[in-house]
Chain A
Amino acid sequence: MDSASSEAAAHTPLRSTVDTGLKIVIVGGFGVGKTTMVSSVSEIRPLSTEETMTRAGIGIDDARGVGDKTTTTVAFDFGRITLNDRMVLYLFGAPGQERFWFLWDRLFSGTLGAVVLVDTRRLADSWYAIDRLEHHKMPFIVARNIFDGASVHPLEHVRDALDLSDNVPLIDCDARRRDSCKTMLITLVKHLYALSSTAKGSAP
């Protein structure tokens, strides 16, 4: 069966004891390796779905005709990692463009944290995503996906170019490698843990 979205056959059921769903979002520009990353660590073949939103309800001028309605559609891929008998983590790969952020609150409120996946050849693609995550007060790390043949600058150059503050973790990764993606997720969760422990006033 070829279709990533085909049901039952492609679907590996969760354990019946699972009661807690968590989510982490991988944000990045087109072709940066989001889906590759998700499939490297997912226990299921990545699925894809989409959300649509008609702008009419949130506009300032509801008196305008139906013809003025615009629909925002965002497609995203996701994968799954069963953490233990009760918890399952979903990884969502999300595009970084403007229409996606329009749906952030609806789709991704309650997200544990985010990974911004960057391609050094197109760093500018990440500026907007980083700005929006900061705006939403969503904790994140930045991971540079190393592509074959891409010139590798020192990570500090990337930090400068992205104007990242020192407390945002910045790492290298290879989205094709499972161990590398695992390290990426652990780096994010450790960062969240440090932030959360500090906020709660207790030592980690």
Chain B
Amino acid sequence: MSPGPLDREDPDRLYTVTGGRSRADENSLDLVTLIVSESDSASGMQSEYLRIIEMCARPMAVAEISAALRLPVSVVKILLCDLLDTGQVNARNPVSAPASAQLPDPKTLKQVLVGLRKL
């Protein structure tokens, strides 16, 4: 596989943006959890936080935020946990809580089918 843009990322930046932490409360955030800003950005904030708040004026999935910031998903989750703690963003959680090997319910699947047929 060809190296992606993140492969050239300076590890120091990853360390700096997370304050050196390496773990987030990941169970609360999924790749497709939708994040929405609850406040306007404030001056004096670290630039990654500012960008997240600006981006999430409309809902945006964790994976999309990660792609836009060019930061690994786990790093983005740490930043989001901070913003969730301070109430500056809100998380709209996916229906299927990460209980593995659990089939989604037929009602949800039916809605997915209807949506796909309209494509």
Chain A positions within 8 Å of B, measured between CB atoms, are: 3, 5-8, 11, 13-16, 18-23, 30, 41, 47-54, 73, 75, 78, 80-84, 87-90, 92, 95, 105-110, 112, 136-139, 178, 182, 185-186, 189-190, 192-193, 195-197, 199-200, 202, 204
Contacts and interface: CB of A to CB of B under 8 A. Distances in A.
A30 B1 CA distance: 8
Contact of A136 (B26, B101, B114): B101
The A contact surface, by secondary structure, is mixed
Given A14-B34, A48-B67, A84-B111, A8 B92 contact: no
B74 A7 contact: no
Interface of B: 1, 4-7, 22, 26, 30-34, 51, 55, 57-61, 63-64, 66-70, 72-74, 92, 94-101, 103-106, 108-117, 119
A167 to B, nearest CB: 14
Contacts, number: 177
A83 B116 contact: yes
B103 A139 contact: yes
B109 A193 contact: yes
A189 B116 contact: yes
Given A7-B68, A84-B114, A192-B104, 17 more contacts: A6-B68, A13-B58, A18-B34, A20-B94, A21-B30, A21-B31, A22-B32, A41-B119, A48-B67, A49-B6, A80-B61, A80-B64, A89-B115, A105-B100, A110-B94, A136-B100, A193-B110
